[in-house]
Amino acid sequence: MKKIEAVILDWAGTIIDYGCMATVESFIDLFAEYGITIDEALTRRSMGIDKQDHIRRMIGHPDITRLWFEKTGMEPNEGDIMELSRRFEQIIIKKFEKYSEPKEYVKRTMDTIRESGIWIGSTTSYTHEMMNVLEEIAGRKGVRVDLWINSEDVNGYGRPLPYMIFKNMEKLGISSVKSVIKVGDTVSDIKEGINAGVITAGVIDGSSEMGMSYEDFQKLSDEEKDTERARVRERFEKAGADYVMDNIKSLPYIIAQLENKMDI
């Protein structure tokens, strides 16, 4: 038996879509259809949770609730949230081809992990409809996981609750939470892993926590990049992450370090 049996990855911001731009742009476009302007900071505030819950939190923000009332003459209700969720799904699916490029070092890292006999599972805040499209597109670009689970697979109990991780473990036949590493780019990912009792690792570059597109990050000076990385590292560490990586190429070294410490 492998000492580390599974790595459970997040998708956008972790292995594809540097900066989670598909989600950010889709939320901005969604509310613009209702005449409401929102900024990136608000869209990223609840990143990583189930998309319907994300919409619920956004529309519950006092400023958005006020603007919604001004535009519609009514307080937002659950029916509005369902309609917004349906429309969000339509918008983001059209962005997947553009925003599904593998992040740097991802394919090489995933190959290394697989070669060592470790399963690659995943959890996601995307819906089944979104994932069915994204999985095919990402697969064409060389990114494939052994399994993905979303909140629909666990009766709606998505991040930061632990059940998507447990479902991965069940389906992959993993023997212990001590043999699992959860890797993600948001505080919600880290909390999900902590709640499941698994090892957690945050990815800095291209993360939603950093909140920058690849182009914007490359415009920074080396000193500015270091400052941004330190800011995000502190957020992950405060959230309780066991490990924090600048990028995912460090993951095989973390696995080797863990296995050297573990009893066979």
Strands of 243-245's sheet in order across: 149-150, 119-124, 6-9, 180-184, 199-203, 243-245
Structure tokens at 261: 């410490």
Nearby residues of 134 by Cβ (< 8 Å), 6 or more positions away: 11, 96, 100, 126
Catalytic annotation present for 51: yes
Distance, in Å, from the CA atom of 134 to the CA atom of 132, rounded to the nearest integer, reads: 6
Active-site residue (options: 51, 103, 167, 182) = 51
Task: Name which of 160, 158, 152 is nearest 193 in CA terms.
Answer: 160
Active-site residue (options: 10, 50, 153, 185) = 10
Task: Name which of 21, 84, 22 is nearest 57 in CA terms.
Answer: 84
Catalytic annotation present for 94: no
Which amino acids are annotated catalytic? 10, 51
